[in-house]
Amino acid sequence: MNSSIEKILFSEDEIREKVKQIGKKISEDYKDKDLVLVGILKGSVVFLSDLMRTIDINCKIAFLTAKSYGNSTMSSGKVELEDTLKTSLGEEITGKDIILVEDILDTAATLYAVREKIKELNPASIKICAFIERNIKRNVDLTPDYKCFDIQDGFIVGYGLDYAQNYRNLPYVGILKREIYTKIN
């Protein structure tokens, strides 16, 4: 185990099993649809690349960039989206059945902002697939349609999730030792 990790929360085997279940469900639900998985960079890349290989119907992928954390472990509440979204993604989204794929749904500020922007591109439908949902009370009305795991507290990393851009490559999800982020912040 990586020395910055206090405890493994979800192992590689557990993750593989859950992702497979979600992929199967999506394959059934979108059988006659025009599915596009839209990954929110960078955190969703590991999840999305595993998830798409468990989906056995036709699907496309697209990506967009959204940032809210910077180098902190607290959500800033402000969400930055690329302003080229319309020109870069318009054709890939209009009239299609979109699933937004996110690493973790926390305050949901990021996905709320992304969903509003995506709506402007007139997709046929939009749903949300989060690898992890943090169970907190939210100010925005948004819950995932598909998810693999729930957590409560603790800052987690691995399987795409980062702290200051590190630890995304860990194949499991673990709780980051507190001393790692109190040292820098």
Active site residues: 106
Q: How far is the CB of 40 from Mg ion (least distance, A)?
A: 9
- Burial of 48 from C-beta contacts in 10 A (0-12 / 13-18 / 19+): buried
Residue with tokens 């557990």: 14
Q: Of 97 and 107, which has the nearer Cβ to ligand IMP?
A: 107
**Given CA atoms 34, 82, 118, 48 in this order, what sign does their dihedral have?**
positive
Cα separation, 66 vs 90, whole angstroms: 17
Q: Of 97 and 133, which has the nearer Cβ to ligand IMP?
A: 133
Query: Is the distance from CB of 129 to CB of 147 less than 8 angstroms?
Result: yes
Q: In what order do the strands lie in the sheet with 173-176?
A: 5-10, 173-176, 156-157
Q: How far is the CB of 148 from ligand IMP (least distance, A)?
A: 14
Q: How far is the CB of 34 from ligand IMP (least distance, A)?
A: 26
What does the binding site for ligand IMP look like in residue numbers (CB under 6 A)? 43, 68-69, 75, 102-110, 155-157, 161-162
Q: What is the DSSP letter of 158?
A: B
Which partner, Mg ion, ligand IMP, none, binds residue 100 by CB below 5 to 8 Å per kind?
none
Query: Is the distance from CB of 71 to CB of 184 less than 8 angstroms?
Result: yes
Give the residue, chosen from 23, 39, 43, 144, that forms a contact with Mg ion under the rule CB under 5 A: 43
Q: Of 25 and 168, which has the nearer Cβ to ligand IMP?
A: 168
Which partner, Mg ion, ligand IMP, none, binds residue 102 by CB below 5 to 8 Å per kind?
ligand IMP
Residues that bind Mg ion (CB under 5 A): 43
